[in-house]
Amino acid sequence: MSSQRNPLTKFLLLSAASFAIGTIHGMLQVMPPIRHWLDSIGSPYGGPGHMIDPLAHAHMNLVGGAVMLAMGATYHLLPQFVNRPIYSQRLVNLTFWWTATGAYSFYVALLAFGFWEGSLLHRAPEQIPAVQRYYGPVIACAATTMAIGFVIYFYNIAKTVRSARQ
């Protein structure tokens, strides 16, 4: 086996790990006692429950699982299709770290605020607005981090295609 790992391996490994986490999350959220609690806190249409199902569940599977796989596959296949190397290997790594950090912090923030506000809804609903004040900045930081990963990816792909046309 080669001692040098392909830099795209991490995209595939994180994708597989995310599908595993997203699938376990999906199995847990249909178990009757958990389903009942999620329904009681607004899932799937609104309220704190909405953060856990569908938002956290969807983004773990779709961004952590599907998008990571698509990014890794594109970085592998595009050079073969356009007959040019990827514009920047550094940007390949930055794509991974920004998107992965953003997607996982987005997931953890949605779960944390979903459980926190969900438990308050039953015992001290008047405290929810105070907690909600933190939700906006935290989720905005996570979402922006994830979006930066996407932008780096689009830029690297666009520059690669452009270099192939010249």
**C-beta atoms surrounding 166 within 10 Å:** 5
Any contact of residue 79 with ligand HEM (CB under 6 A)?
A: no
| Minimal distance, residue 69 CB to ligand HEM, in Å | 11
Any contact of residue 71 with ligand HEM (CB under 6 A)?
A: no
Any contact of residue 143 with ligand HEM (CB under 6 A)?
A: yes
Any contact of residue 63 with ligand HEM (CB under 6 A)?
A: yes
- Supply the Cα-derived Rg of the chain in whole angstroms: 19
By beta-carbon proximity to ligand HEM, the closer residue of 86 and 146 is: 146
Among 19, 97, 115, 150, interactor with ligand HEM by CB under 6 A = 150
**C-beta atoms surrounding 127 within 10 Å:** 13
CB-CB contact of 144 with 102 (8 Å): yes
State the amino acid at position 127 in one-letter form: Q
By beta-carbon proximity to ligand HEM, the closer residue of 65 and 160 is: 65
By beta-carbon proximity to ligand HEM, the closer residue of 124 and 151 is: 151
Residue nearest ligand HEM, CB atom distance: 143
| Minimal distance, residue 95 CB to ligand HEM, in Å | 12
- Give how far Cα 141 sits from Cα of 51, 91, 97, 105, 137, Å: 16, 21, 15, 9, 6
By beta-carbon proximity to ligand HEM, the closer residue of 66 and 128 is: 66
By beta-carbon proximity to ligand HEM, the closer residue of 25 and 59 is: 59
- Give how far Cα 156 sits from Cα of 19, 95, 100, 150, Å: 25, 9, 17, 10
Sign of CA dihedral 85, 87, 90, 92: negative
Contacts of 17 (CB under 8 A, 6+ apart): 64
Binding site for ligand HEM (CB under 6 A): 54-55, 58-59, 62-63, 66-67, 143, 146-147, 150
